[in-house]
Structure formats: structure tokens, C-alpha cells
Amino acid sequence: MRFSPAALASLLAFVLLLGLGIPQLAEGASLDSAEQDLVARINAFRTVRSLPTLAVSDTLTAAAKWMSADMGGRNYFAHTSLDGRSPTQRMADAGYPAFGTWTGEDLAAGFTTTADVLNGWINSPAHYSVLVNPQYHAIGVGRGYAAGSTYGWYWTADFGGVVDVVRAAPVSRAATQTTPAAFAPRTTQSATVALPPDSGYHARWSAQTADPVVDPGAFATLVVALRNTGSQGWYRGVAGRQANLGTSDPQDAEHPEFAANWLSVNRLTSTTTDYVAPGEVGWFEFTVHAPGASGDYQLALRPVVDGVGWLEDEGIFFTIHVSPALLSRGDVSFAP
């Protein structure tokens, strides 16, 4: 079918109104505050594991921002963009030397905070392998929001093995064919993680008891108070609606050394009441068993509705101070 110039102009305007236009990126793409925070969190995560710090690449940033905008604007979630390009091809099209080095990509969708994005990646083996790859030295991240899309927020982190200095050019949706380097890429990694549409389960920290000081092998009862900030009530004893305190940092870590009548080695307790309505405060009471050796032990916690998902990470933790055992008289030697 042929169109007149006027008809083509009208059709293009209609497509742009539908939000299907090509995302435009300024040369030398910059990071917003949330994107900067995500890079900082990733670098902090790598630093404590003695991995190289990642330099922000303008070209990788341009590729990542384009991908997040495209996924949101066209309402899909996949590593292969709808124009048929792989992550490595998109990085190359943005000006990064992707075909001559290591490349990787992590995607996330539905998360609203950088902490949740990183936690989602850390707790997924495929994403974790990208985060801890020592071959990566450069990164670009981008986030995009699209009202009416399946997930709302879309996040992309693109990783590369070399630090480039070329400024990023606008990325075209056309699948530009970049001539590969004379040698093949060593590897390409990619992984995705998505948060389901809002379940209605949310929580905010309200209060907790002080860190306990106990003797070796003794027991201590602790309490955490969380406000139900979601639209769903918490029902104790009802599968899929019961709010529990789970272990965190790392998520679902097993702590049999602390467990004392817990629900399991990584689920401490549920609410003390049968029902906590939205807006009300739920109380979580549990007992910890102090290790036999003196020292300070940290126990990190996070609320979870099993079968639905983890609630907000409020940074809840206790430091269990185990005092040195008192010596009996028979344990002490006296000089003559």
C-alpha cells in the first residue's frame, strides 16, 4: 500500500502519540540520582568481595537507558529487544566495543527502589553470576517508567570488560549491523528478574527491642513491630496471607544456631495476633539461642508472605552480644 506524504506525516504523528517513537538520548548520557545510587550499590557489593570497581561508561549508559525506555514504551520484558537485537548488539550500536570483550546484562521490572533491584539480582543465581564476574570493568545503567505498562518501572544494567572513552551517540532502533572484531567475544551473560504486579502486601518498620546481651548458650526473647502499609490484611495461620519474619542478608539464610522454636531455620515467627488490618501494627515475637562462644553475632530480618513475595527491606537486624562465660574458682590458677 502506498501513502501520500501528508498521510505518512499523519501516520508518524499517530505512532508517536501512541508512545512507540524512538527513545531519544542526549550525547554523553548522564545518570539520574537513582541510577547513580544503583551503580554505587553494585560497586559496594563488588568491593567487599575484592572485585574490580566498575567505571561508568557513557556508551553502556546510553544502551541501558534505551533498553529500559523501549521495554516500558512497548510493554515487553526480554533481553532481545523487539527490533531483534541482542544485548551485545545494542551495546555495539551505542558505540561500545562489545564484540571484542566480555559483555553482560541484568534486567529488572516492577521494583521501585534500587535496594530492591539489587536484592532481586543478588538472590537470583543468573543475576548474581553477572554481578560477581571479575572480567567486568565498566557499567551503564538506565531506568524508565511507563504508565499503563505491565510493570511500570524497568531497569537495565549493561556490563563490559573494557573502559571506553567514546561519548555515547543516540541509539537508533534500526538494527545497525556493526562489523565484529577479528576475534569472537569471550562470553555474553544476561538475566532478568521481575516483580509481579502489586500484591497489596507492604510493611514499614515501627519499633524493635534493644540488642540482647546474654551468656553463652542462653536464650533471649525479641520483638519487632511492623506497620501494615499495604491494602491486604495479614492473617495468621492462612497460607499465602500470613506475614512472617524471614532471614535476610543473605535472603533465606539458614540459622539453626539461633533457632529456638522458630517456624523453620529461616522463618522466625508470625504475628502475635490472628489478624493485622491495613494501617495497623503487627507484633512479631521470637526467641534466639545464643551461640556457645562469646562475641557479637548479627541476625538480619525481613518480612515475607510466603507464596506471594518479600515485603520491603527495612534494614532490620539485631546484634546478639554474647558475654564471656564467668570462670569458676577451679578455673583460676594462683601463683604461690
Give the pLDDT confidence of 51-68 residue by residue, as tens digits.
999 999 999 999 999 999
What is the tens place of the pLDDT at every residue in 245-300?
999 988 888 999 999 999 999 999 999 999 998 889 999 999 999 999 999 999 99
By percentage, how much of the chain surpasses pLDDT 90? Answer: 61
Which whole number is the average pLDDT over 200-208? 90
What domains can you pick out in the chain, each with its CATH number?
A: 33-160 (3.40.33.10), 203-322 (2.60.40.10)
Strand intervals (E) in the chain: 55-56, 103-109, 138-145, 153-160, 188-194, 203-208, 213-214, 219-228, 234-235, 243-248, 259-260, 267-270, 275-276, 281-289, 295-305, 309-310, 316-322
CA angle 186, 189, 192 (to 5 degrees): 170
Whether the upstream peptide bond of residue 250 has omega within 30° of 0, thus cis, is yes
pLDDT at 175: 33
pLDDT band for 24, please (50, 70, 90 cuts). very low
Whole-prediction pTM value?
0.47
